[in-house]
Structure 1
């Protein structure tokens, strides 16, 4: 299983809630619950799993040191895990091809891919900038689990 269709199907069943795992510098695993979704990578157009992380979070520090990550989505007894390298794009992790406007659109795209909606995108954009939020894009190297189909 290498495509993200099964992951995307399960994300839609529980508000995009997933368990996201990064590696601590001492080799342990740090886990957190996040909202995530599947979207096209903004520069390469391949499918990735995306989430939005608050600036200064441990998960971002871990990914800067080691980009390997695993994210797991579940709904009932069905689950799908995605392992791969994560790319961080945000105000503290600028990408030469992603300017401020493109970052705002990327954060919106990740948010909506995870099932989110907003009545006031200007307020959303302002809060994302104040919190120095970053997009985390996981390119799948391995996808496995117990999917529905």
Structure 2
């Protein structure tokens, strides 16, 4: 299992801002910036990099076709890259072990793991439902970084 400790250490230094790279159907890279964090996978307990994506985005479409992904977090000149495979769990990507209530709590957990805080969780939950937000859980196959 790959160690995500260094990734986790960089998250609070710049709000978990991370670049994600997915693969288009024509095999070219597609990039986006997200807030990511590290937490236990909701069904396996494995430590994963996770972020929340708005329903209908290109990154989700790419990941449905090809779950290959890279996520890079940075703070100053320090960075950690995680390559792996993404699993999607959300209203458009149901999981048999994750009902609507568990998804609601998982989206909160991911937001918090990425350094987010909220003073109105009911509004947060409503927006997540309305935007068909999806949890993206990245199981690492390779983790690397610049020297410390």
Moved beyond 4 Å, runs of 4+: none
1:73 partner SS: strand
1:54 aligns with 54
1:119 aligns with 119
Distance in 2 separating the partners of 1:45 and 1:120: 28
Q: Where do residues 15-26 of structure 1 align in structure 2 (5 Å cutoff)? A: 15-26=15-26
Q: Is the 8 A contact 1:6 1:147 kept in 2?
A: no
- The one-character-per-residue Cα deviations of 1:21-76 (angstroms, maximum 9, x if unpaired) are 00000000000010000000011111000000000000000000000100001111
1:73 correspondence with 2:73: yes
Distance in 2 separating the partners of 1:147 and 1:57: 34
- The one-character-per-residue Cα deviations of 1:63-95 (angstroms, maximum 9, x if unpaired) are 000001000011111110000000000000000
1:12 partner SS: helix
Aligned length: 148
Distance in 1 separating the partners of 2:130 and 2:79: 34
2:90 aligns with 90
Distance in 2 separating the partners of 1:78 and 1:126: 36
Distance 1:80 1:147, change over 3 A: farther
Distance in 2 separating the partners of 1:2 and 1:103: 25
Shift of 1:2: 2.2
Across the aligned residues of Structure 1 and Structure 2, the Cα RMSD in angstroms comes to: 1.1
1:11 aligns with 11
